[in-house]
Amino acid sequence: MQPDISARPLRVTVWNEGRHEKEDEPVAKRYPEGIHGAVAAGIEENLGAAAVVRTATLDEPEHGLTEAVLKDTDVLTWWGHKAHGAVDDAIVERVAQRVLEGMGLVVLHSGHFSKIFRRLLGTTCSLRWRSEHDRELVWTINPSHPIAAGVPSPIIIPEQEMYGEFFDIPTPDELVFISSFSGGEVFRSGCCYTRGRGRIFYFRPGHETHPTYHHPDVRRVIANAVAWAGCTSPTQS
Amino acid sequence: MQPDISARPLRVTVWNEGRHEKEDEPVAKRYPEGIHGAVAAGIEENLGAAAVVRTATLDEPEHGLTEAVLKDTDVLTWWGHKAHGAVDDAIVERVAQRVLEGMGLVVLHSGHFSKIFRRLLGTTCSLRWRSEHDRELVWTINPSHPIAAGVPSPIIIPEQEMYGEFFDIPTPDELVFISSFSGGEVFRSGCCYTRGRGRIFYFRPGHETHPTYHHPDVRRVIANAVAWAGCTSPTQS
Amino acid sequence: MQPDISARPLRVTVWNEGRHEKEDEPVAKRYPEGIHGAVAAGIEENLGAAAVVRTATLDEPEHGLTEAVLKDTDVLTWWGHKAHGAVDDAIVERVAQRVLEGMGLVVLHSGHFSKIFRRLLGTTCSLRWRSEHDRELVWTINPSHPIAAGVPSPIIIPEQEMYGEFFDIPTPDELVFISSFSGGEVFRSGCCYTRGRGRIFYFRPGHETHPTYHHPDVRRVIANAVAWAGCTSPTQS
Amino acid sequence: MQPDISARPLRVTVWNEGRHEKEDEPVAKRYPEGIHGAVAAGIEENLGAAAVVRTATLDEPEHGLTEAVLKDTDVLTWWGHKAHGAVDDAIVERVAQRVLEGMGLVVLHSGHFSKIFRRLLGTTCSLRWRSEHDRELVWTINPSHPIAAGVPSPIIIPEQEMYGEFFDIPTPDELVFISSFSGGEVFRSGCCYTRGRGRIFYFRPGHETHPTYHHPDVRRVIANAVAWAGCTSPTQS
């Protein structure tokens, strides 16, 4: 219902570390197009013509995040896990500057420990975790927030890695979701921030050993988050 | 850039006490269509076909806010000043329930003391004031917020009633604007809240003795606020 | 470590509906001094000479909340459940005014539906609930907050009524605790607000059918909350 | 009125760049004990035996901020201006880790551009400024906050450097003061954050060319902020 103040589609870049898919056969089978492929497909199926999606991965030159690519990106999504340290500091700083200028950033799951997330938030971003077979329930606590649109409360994810509090992050500007796990742990799993002129959303679900990025509700939330994070760009110029 | 998730235009009801215009000739001259007429025109000129605007005033039956009208309203704007006490408590409660269910509410200027604003916020909503010839500067402190889109920082309003801190409101969920006045006073002049499923925006500028609602930047902010407050409705059904 | 800026002890009034204890024998056995007696004892054992505690109940004249008592109270705690409707509106308003002037208010468990809590917050304060034999885990998400001092994370409460999201409250100014229950539900169970000059804390645990107010960690949190809510009074005069 | 839960005085380290005092005679005359000397005296005169204050400056070995000193510090105050770049990155990181572990940090005036402040907040921390003869008025917008205790609203500072919005910081967890200047600019001049387990307060007033740190209200606010920021330490061990 918000008036469409720009006819231009949102330019989205889906970034993925992309190492598990190369080195771990079950992951490769679960995500034959890579985790980035699944994330990109989820955004496309939900936003349709309102978004143009490309992907980039760690092992491309400049990790696929050249000045030109970032300049042409309204929202960047970020998935990384075991190779956070391999991301070049200069490129982290380049991404950080673009966020502060107004580019949206959607950080997924183990991206909580990425250099870019910690650079922008300033805290350790540490948490409890357990890689067993927990069931995750994702509860909406802000039902009119646009990122929660169209998903049930709770979203039920049958098997997941557990993340638990204390999650060492700044108090979110808006908290949208809280998860619980089979062990009784809780986690702030949908967190909105504005930093500089850019919007940041952290969304917890998703692990390379589970088919989370094929889950329709998870895909819907990521697409909603991309739309939300991209909402500010027209005011930048 | 946010995808337009509904083709339906936003249904806006502009509410006005409407007494000054009847009883005070300079106000009648300044606002020949009433303050509601000026506010409605500002929304229409900014949102165009994305909004359908009607008006309602205190002296209509049920103050023009029947169950049917409210059910057909996505966002209500509110201007009142000298007749807050004449608003029927049952209708205040009716409006409050609709906000909690998801209707947006944009409260203007002296509406800070309206029954509906105090009912929803819970505090006294008192403030300092002085009706002289202050110049108001409205500074944007959240430049990527959609309500600040398209207006300069500061917005310059040559003559205004002064409102000063301490403004006895709950800490806003988001603070968008801070004003200063010729006397050096400051005021939180653009405040966002979510209450229940409804979004509320308070915007300070505007007084019956000044042509504020003809000011293009003020009209733009009110229209932006209407779009923002109406953004949640599609998720309600 | 905060310097003790006043030698005067904190004046605390523990308010209780007090009906279950009269009408329901198991409750009377569980709380032989009333729920108010248990809450008062918990505050005294934790704050010692730093607090002077009295109690008041619904069936006393003016519910024990005369002008004189309120004037002599720095922090009021509130427990009610089945007789919210029996609390006189004029006394609710009297309490509300005192909170807005600077008196602290600690609302416990089923007090979420009390008139005073809804009056000050403005929302419905509704929630999901189930009265079975859930285990509650109360996780600290703000470990340096003074209200979380000295308690483990999680606090383990073996048997409890379940409260679940969506809890229809304004976004807390500070969120200190999140609970989970055996059924996988989550709940914002420790919520700080400032309204006017008064501090409000809502704390979820506690039900007349469980011995929650004898639990040492629950008592510690309530005492911490009383100290926190009373922290502002010296600046009022 | 908050019970004094520790008899141990607060250990405060007042840090100062200390270059203007050496290189600029009017500054040396205005602050014969250095800016750090004036800040330390203001804390001592307000907190008395509740605090033990030491100082440290840029040109000492390790900038006076050895592991031992930081370990023995509950709250660190920071003033820097023209030599931010001379602060060693490793020591910035050492201070950041201590804040995340629970040490309080009070950042003064031009410290907004210090490495430590930007490291912990993540944004550019840029602002408008003008070094003329502005009068600053510091208005309290959170009158029951302990940092505002005992000072008038507004605090009047006859001559000051001007800082204006947009101040590129994360939305403060609590906003206590807003300043206005002779030119009509506004500024969020008292900002609370929690990062990790540490509390951070930014306070705007103060410039080497004005006697701001001799102003009794400014000294009171800094002392209040030190007490507030040190309030969490007892829960760390």
**C29-38, long-range: CB within 8 Å, 24+ apart, which pairs?**
C30/C208, C30/C209, C30/C210, C30/C211, C31/C208, C31/C213, C35/C79, C35/C206, C35/C208, C35/C213, C36/C79, C38/C213, C38/C214
Average pLDDT (D55-79) is 98
Token reading at B115: 């029954």
pLDDT tens sequence across C158-183: 999 999 999 999 999 999 999 999 99
User: What band does C231 get if pLDDT is binned at 50, 70 and 90?
Assistant: confident
Distance from chain centroid for Cα A178: 16
List C178's β-bridge partners, or say none.
C139, C188
Q: What is the pLDDT of residue B231?
A: 84
Residue C138 · residue C154 · CB < 8 Å: yes
Residue B124 · residue B103 · CB < 8 Å: no
CB pair distance less than 8 Å for C139 and A185:
yes
H-state helical runs in chain B: 20-23, 25-30, 34-47, 67-71, 89-101, 115-121, 216-229
Token reading at A164: 């638990």
Tell me the shortest Cα–Cα distance from C234 to chain A, in angstroms: 28
Average pLDDT (A45-52) is 97
Q: What is the pLDDT of residue B43?
A: 98
C interface with B, Cβ–Cβ < 8 A, is 96, 100, 119-124, 168, 170-171, 173, 193-196
Count of Cβ atoms closer than 10 Å to residue A217 Cβ: 16
How does pLDDT run along chain B (237 residues), one tens digit per residue? 344 445 689 999 999 999 999 999 999 999 999 999 999 999 999 999 999 999 999 999 999 999 999 999 999 999 999 999 999 999 999 999 999 999 999 999 999 999 999 999 999 999 999 999 999 999 999 999 999 999 999 999 999 999 999 999 999 999 999 999 999 999 999 999 999 999 999 999 998 889 999 999 999 999 999 999 998 744 333
Q: Is the pLDDT of residue C36 over 90?
A: yes
List D106's β-bridge partners, or say none.
D77, D201
Q: Between A and C, how many residue pairs show a Cβ–Cβ distance under 8 A?
A: 66
What is the signed CA dihedral for A80, A83, A85, A86, rounded to 10 degrees?
-110
CA distance C197 to C233: 9
Closest CB from B140, B171, B184 relative to D180: B184
Residue A176 · residue A195 · CB < 8 Å: no
Say which residues have a Cβ less than 8 Å from residue D106's Cβ, sequence separation at least 6.
Answer: D75, D76, D77, D78, D200, D201, D202, D203, D222, D225, D226, D229
Query: In residues, how long is chain B?
Result: 237
| Greatest pairwise CA separation for chain B in angstroms | 48
CA distance C139 to C157: 11
Average pLDDT (C105-116) is 98
Token reading at A223: 């697409």
Q: What is the pLDDT of residue B6?
A: 53
Range C100-134 burial, b when 16+ CB lie within 10 A, else e:
bbbbbbbbbbbbbbbbbbbbbbbbbbebeeeeeeb
C-alpha Rg value of chain C to the nearest Å: 16
Supply the mean pLDDT for chain C.
Answer: 94
Residues of D in contact with C227 (CB under 8 A): 2-3
Query: In residues, how long is chain D?
Result: 237
Token reading at D25: 């005679």
CB pair distance less than 8 Å for C121 and B124:
no
Q: Is the pLDDT of residue C2 over 50?
A: no
List A136's β-bridge partners, or say none.
A157, A181
Distance from chain centroid for Cα C105: 7
Count of Cβ atoms closer than 10 Å to residue C68 Cβ: 9
Residue B14 · residue B34 · CB < 8 Å: no
Tell me the shortest Cα–Cα distance from C19 to chain A, in angstroms: 33
Q: Give the single-character DSSP code of C21.
A: H
Who wins on pLDDT, B166 or D4? Answer: B166
Query: Does residue C166 have a cis peptide bond before it, meaning omega lies within 30 degrees of 0?
Result: yes
Helix or strand run (H / E) with residue C174: strand C174-181
H-state helical runs in chain D: 20-23, 25-30, 34-47, 67-71, 89-101, 115-121, 216-229
Q: What is the pLDDT of residue A7?
A: 63
Q: What is the pLDDT of residue A231?
A: 84
CB pair distance less than 8 Å for A141 and C166:
yes
CB pair distance less than 8 Å for C3 and D142:
no
User: What band does D231 get if pLDDT is binned at 50, 70 and 90?
Assistant: confident
Closest CB from A5, A144, A149 relative to B194: A144
Q: What is the pLDDT of residue D235?
A: 38
Say which residues have a Cβ less than 8 Å from residue A9's Cβ, sequence separation at least 6.
Answer: A49, A50, A51, A52
Tokens 């994360």 appear where? D170
Average pLDDT (C21-40) is 96
Average pLDDT (D150-170) is 97
Query: Does residue D187 have a cis peptide bond before it, meaning omega lies within 30 degrees of 0?
Result: no
Tell me the residue type at C215: H
pLDDT tens sequence across D18-65: 999 999 999 999 999 999 999 999 999 999 999 999 999 999 999 999
Average pLDDT (C17-25) is 95
Residues of C in contact with A184 (CB under 8 A): 135, 137, 154, 180, 182
Residues of A in contact with B2 (CB under 8 A): 2, 4, 146, 227-228, 230-231
Tell which residue, D191, D187, D189, D188, has the closest CA to residue D174. Answer: D191
Average pLDDT (D63-84) is 98
